Chain A
Amino acid sequence: MSGGPYNYSYIFKYIIIGDMGVGKSCLLHQFTEKKFMADCPHTIGVEFGTRIIDVCGQKIKLQIWDTAGQERFRAVTRSYYRGAAGALMVYDITRRSTYNHLSSWLSDTRNLTNPSTVIFLIGNKCDLEAQRDVTYEEASKFAEENGLMFVEASAKTGDNVEEAFLETAKKIYQSIQDGRLDLNAAESGVQHKPSTPGRNNLSNDNQANKDNCSC
């Protein structure tokens, strides 16, 4: 291994989009802090969070932008799509209207990001099974038709939250490996960080990165 074990090699930019109240901020919070916020105020602006994750033995820093979902901010939040490597598109499984709006969110994403941007559909609040308003099958079909990755998740219980963020990163990383994603393009949403020549070795260099990885 060339660099120190804790240097990250890439920065990926993510955006989280979707109707207001679907749980975007809660998903971000769950991912960065492992906590659920029961009464989270509406996001009036764009929140920012980071976390370093491990994909295929590579440290990757995620820079996540959580956008305001209220309709009146729609025009402004469009400024933030640019240069996103990953887009998490969220709806609330207990509110059909949030699902119905997906096509409009999707067309914004397609128009404002580049073709290699990985779009991940999240059906949030899957802990509220009794209030379900959108079936898994239906959403999964929508995802398939549009070539999106898809899970149902819960920012409350944490179910599938980690997976959604990590799977997105894995997909982006694969695109880099396959050369589908041009790192030099300013809008790729990925920055390369050359690691420092490692001089001081801490114990466990060998073990730290042994997480099994399919790619």
Chain B
Amino acid sequence: MIKLTFSIAYALLLARWKQTLVAAIGVTFSITMFIALLGFMNGLNELLDGLVINRTPHISIYNEILPTENQPTDKYFFNENIYNFISSKKPKNELSQIYNSGAIIQTLKSDNRVLGVSPKLTTQVFYNTGTIDISGIINGIDVIAENKLFTFSDYVIKGNSEDLKTVSNSIILGKGAADVLLVDIGDVIQVTSNKGEISQLKVVGIFQSGIKDIDKVQSYTSISTAQKLLGVSNNYITDIQIKLKNLNLAPQIAAEFRSTFNVDAIDIQTANAQYETGSSVRSLISYAVGITLLIVAGFGIYNILNMMIYEKMDTIAILKATGFSGSQVKFIFISIALTIGIFGGILGLLFGFGTSYLIDQIPFNTAALPTIKTYPVSYNPKYYLIGGIFSIVTTYFAGYFPSRKASKVDPVIIIRGK
């Protein structure tokens, strides 16, 4: 029975194949645009997110330099008649070291919500060149962990990131800083720590993050080199960077770490709220455009079915007179609409993939983004799924109302009208 109604739908569709083709092309076009647009927009989103989010720890543990809460005066002068006024409170000279960092790292590594941990030591320095001092920041890192968690090596445009570990007293300079210092790989630069100690460091690499302000000041050494520079012990670190398995849990877990480890912890959402907003607005725009196109295509289908029903009134009347029920007639026209939707949709997905692939081939070179050679495109299957579902849903609705009208045709009126 279903086979029969399908074969009738198919015959009606073939009899009007030009119009149905136009309708299907409408769907194909809108799905193609939808996929290409979302792929491109989200490729861009992922790229921009990558710029910041890939390189930003989900949670960062550090120690804010603050005056201690229990001032010494309070310890010695206290009773109910005494109230201490302290002016010009200053933080203690204790730097931003995280105490107990070894134990914290061990605990974090055994936490199964944590993907990876990378300790860091950040310190202010001056790069000395001739008579000029340029201020900068040295990040002492565990280069293996940094590569694994933050794809650090992707941004090292010259030299090998792992040399930081193998070559002693080595440094990877930001491109901006290297340009100012006029140095290249193999050269030795002089660095003055904020305690006035001078060290010689060998340049083993140049990195470019894509963000100018970072490339001008930041540079990387191994943790031990940074500790030597500062003249501190080998358990001195200032930051613990954490990547989680589920990024969305970051705020909650950060709060937990804050209280259990008695440290400061900031999550990525709080640190980079503005990037999230940008991404979601871009996605929203592409969805809106895609859905608008689909609705337009839906109206096309609606029109063609309506026209078909007016043309085929006799057919509908005789089908009903010979014992086809209203719901069977409805099914015939709904299946015409869905056939248009499914074929148009599948073609649209294929063409959408093709268009995305073409965009992906277009060269896109920018000094700011060293790892990007062509336009970024996302092939996330999610968009293909959404596109497919949308094409079927819109054509179903576009077909629903004409089909209902067809099912309500009164054969007596049509036959009397002849």
Real binding pair: no
